[in-house]
């Protein structure tokens, strides 16, 4: 009995060591640096674009705390290529709105009339659809509807559809998307060698792309170096979406974002490096 207990304890200890080591996973230095990577922050909040515009390739307009007119105003101010969250217009919880087409038209009409719709290069369909228990059928239906509505707007020709999955591994609707990421901040850089990440990558077609999501905000304070190396070394990776610049209190406690937790210099340097390489393209 004591031998069995000791064996179980030894196995548990070995597993814990492996998990801790995977959180510090570091790919080798890339053989060459790419000139086409994107870098942006998840969910820029009102008033934050001035602080990040100089070191990102695009702005993620989340629509938090503002209506469509507020999004248009923000886009007009920064004038940058934009990933636009359409979750509120498209979804009612984990089901597609009955009047989603009308709601999307209203949003796109506002941005078109403001002269900023042409800045939109990607539509962020929903955040973590697996974590919200969205069905595969509903995510596919949402993507089909989005593409149909987008056809009414020449400025949205070629727009990409994107989501970030959580660690659940169910990947609803992945076949209907263009850009997909996966976050599991507790794993650190080990997410890049996790079962869930490998499963996601195995599901992608040649025309689909992934993006990596380092958790630079509190409490994780993830250094992005492993994610930078992975992105440069992986042809199917289109970029890096950092979580997140601003502070948040969605879990009931205030967690400092990258801008105020000491990680800003590292992420600013990452963005400047990507911008410098894009300038050489």
Looking at the domain that runs over 36-278, which CATH code has it been given?
3.20.20.80
- So what's the pLDDT on residue 270? 98
pLDDT-derived band of residue 7, with 50, 70 and 90 as boundaries?
A: very low
Place of tokens 């962020």: 124
What's the average model confidence in pLDDT over 18-40? Answer: 86
User: What pLDDT sits at residue 22?
Assistant: 66
Q: How far is residue 212's CA from residue 236's CA, in Å, rounded to a whole number?
A: 11
pLDDT in tens, 200-259: 999 999 999 999 999 999 999 999 999 999 999 999 999 999 999 999 876 666 899 999
Q: What is the pLDDT of residue 250?
A: 66
- 């938090």: which residue's tokens? 64
**How far is CA 256 from each of CA 125, 227, 229, rounded to the nearest angstrom?**
26, 21, 26
Rounded to whole angstroms, how far apart are CA atoms 49 and 52? 5
Q: Answer whether residue 115 shows pLDDT above 50.
A: yes
Structure tokens at 84: 């636009």
């Amino acid at each position: 009995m004591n031998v069995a207990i000791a064996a179980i304890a030894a196995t548990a200890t070995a597993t814990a060591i492996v998990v801790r080591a995977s959180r510090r996973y570091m790919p080798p230095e890339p053989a060459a640096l790419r000139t086409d990577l994107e870098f942006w922050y998840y969910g820029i909040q009102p008033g934050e674009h001035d602080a990040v515009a100089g070191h990102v390739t695009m702005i993620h307009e989340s629509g938090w705390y503002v209506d469509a007119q507020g999004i248009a105003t923000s886009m007009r101010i920064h004038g940058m290529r934009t990933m636009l969250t359409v979750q509120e217009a498209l979804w009612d919880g984990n089901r597609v709105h009955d009047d989603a087409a009308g709601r999307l038209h209203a949003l796109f009409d506002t941005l078109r009339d403001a002269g900023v719709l042409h800045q939109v290069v990607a539509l962020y369909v929903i955040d973590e659809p697996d974590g919200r228990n969205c069905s595969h059928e509903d995510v596919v239906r949402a993507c089909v509807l989005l593409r149909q509505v987008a056809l009414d707007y020449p400025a949205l020709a070629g727009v990409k559809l994107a989501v970030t999955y959580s660690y659940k591994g169910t990947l609803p609707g992945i076949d209907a998307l263009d850009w997909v990421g996966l976050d599991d901040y507790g794993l650190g850089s080990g997410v890049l060698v996790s079962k869930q990440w490998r499963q996601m990558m195995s599901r992608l077609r040649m025309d689909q792309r992934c993006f990596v999501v380092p958790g630079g905000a509190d409490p994780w304070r993830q250094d992005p170096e492993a994610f930078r190396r992975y992105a440069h070394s992986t042809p199917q990776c289109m970029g890096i979406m950092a979580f997140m610049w601003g502070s948040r209190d969605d879990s009931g406690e205030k967690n400092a974002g990258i801008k105020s937790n000491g990680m800003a210099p590292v992420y600013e340097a990452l963005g400047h490096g990507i911008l410098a390489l894009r300038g050489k393209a």
